């Protein structure tokens, strides 16, 4: 079966712009979680969506938001980009949530200049 697909793979944006990243989970998975990965902070949890509802949120500013559609596909949006938002953004899908086996996509590499 197809894995988790994230688009785009690479993105370059300017400070102050906004960006939308997309994640298509494995078919049948209802939970999608988003993570930010940087060399300094490692992997940090952003939020989790389950059946179109945000179920959990990490400690990130309100500029980071997301949503999930009825087909379980998810998007995350970052507004008013800052240089420090440069990172690899990963999404993971699972059947029931973060307490079950999760499968990660390859990530979107965002560079803010």
* CB of residue 35 to another protein, shortest distance in Å: 8
Confirm or reject binding of residue 105 to another protein (CB under 8 A).
yes
**List 78, 87, 90, 112, residue binding another protein (CB under 8 A):** 90
4: Cβ–Cβ under 8 A, 6 or more apart, which residues?
23, 24, 25, 26, 91, 92, 93, 103, 104, 105
- State which residue, 33 or 72, has the beta carbon closest to another protein: 33
Biggest CA pair distance of the chain: 39
Query: Which 27-66 positions form the footprint of another protein (CB under 8 A)?
Result: 33, 35, 42-45, 48, 56, 58
Q: Alpha helices of the chain — where are they, by DSSP H?
A: none
Confirm or reject binding of residue 107 to another protein (CB under 8 A).
yes
* CB of residue 2 to another protein, shortest distance in Å: 14
Judged by CB under 8 A, the stretch of 14-22, 67-75, 78-86, 104-112 that binds another protein is 104-112
Give the three-state DSSP class for 84: helix
Q: Site residues (CB under 8 A) for another protein?
A: 4, 33, 35, 42-45, 48, 56, 58, 90, 92, 98-99, 101-107
């Amino acid at each position: 079966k197809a894995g988790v697909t994230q688009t785009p793979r690479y993105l370059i944006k300017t400070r102050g712009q906004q960006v939308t990243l997309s994640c298509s989970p494995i078919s049948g998975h209802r939970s999608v979680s988003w993570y930010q990965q940087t060399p300094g902070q490692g992997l940090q949890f952003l939020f989790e969506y389950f059946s179109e509802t945000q179920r959990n949120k990490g400690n990130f500013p309100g500029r980071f938001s997301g949503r999930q559609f009825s087909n379980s596909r998810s998007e995350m949006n970052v507004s008013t980009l800052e240089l420090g938002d440069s990172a690899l953004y990963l999404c993971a899908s699972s059947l029931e949530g973060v307490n079950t086996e999760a499968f990660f996509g390859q990530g979107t590499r965002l560079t803010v200049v």
